Amino acid sequence: MLTSKPSRGATRGTTRRLVAAIVGVLAVMLALPVAASATPVTVIPGLPPIEIPQGPGIPQIPGLPTPPAPTPKPTPKPTPKPTPTPEAKQNAGVPAVPNVPTSTGWIALAKDSTHQIYWYRNGQFVKQMPISMGSAKHPTSNGVYHTKEKYRDMYMDSSTYGVPVDSAEGYRTYVEYATRMSWDGIFIHAAPWSVAQQGSSNVSHGCINVSTANGKWVYDTIPQGTPIVVRGTTGGAYQGT
């Protein structure tokens, strides 16, 4: 059997195709560094470009830049819960407001067991002050008094209720900031001479003794007609108005 030789035209066509393929490969090799410096893609003749995935755990192709490791997000620190502060008991030790009517909104309670007078306004505690009430010989009567006239200063005279000034129990004393509680001579007033006993014992002739500052506060603040309740003394029941 005779084998025919390829024609020159066929040989030239094959040569052209081989040269074109070599040129294409060289073009791909020359293009790779440029592409690597930009977006990393794989170029295969006859196929569309394929992006090369990047990231932790993915092998990298030599010559391509290593992508930076992702910056871990900081773990937010839990906000500490504020430690609850136990609420202080308001007005600890202050007795309840006496259940008596008041036309001024103010009520006072003079309590012999504590030697204190407590002031309330519209049902709310306002002020507390140490006092000295009537001694065992002249106890202050228990009951409801009401504030009346006021004197910036005055002389208290035992003769006004039948005890001569020159007798053993008599007196004539200058006082300041006196607020009358009864028409028979009971006042709440400043008594600087008994400050040491105020809050601890009773030494007056029946009045409620307070310091000068507290006497001024009562004089300046408490309106006429305010009830003052006296409790716990050795005196009898107050029968006045």
The predicted pLDDT at position 92 comes to 73
Q: Identify the bridge partners of residue 178 per DSSP, sorted by sequence position.
A: 151
pLDDT of residue 17: 66
Per-residue confidence (pLDDT) for residue 36, from 0 to 100: 42
d(CA 215, CA 221): 10
Across the beta sheet with 150-157, what order do the strands follow?
Answer: 150-157, 172-180, 187-190, 208-210
| Whole-number pLDDT of residue 152 | 98
CB contact at 8 A, 191 and 66: no
Would you list the domain boundaries of the chain?
A: 12-51, 106-231
Q: What is the pLDDT of residues 101-110, one digit of tens each?
A: 999 999 999 9
Q: Which residues does the annotation mark as catalytic?
A: 189, 207
pLDDT in tens, 134-154: 999 999 999 999 999 999 999
Low-confidence stretches of the chain (pLDDT beneath 70): 1-70, 80-91, 241
CATH class of residue range 106-231: mainly beta
Q: Would you state the pLDDT for residue 34?
A: 43
CA distance 97 to 52: 85
Tell me, what's the pLDDT at 86? Answer: 45
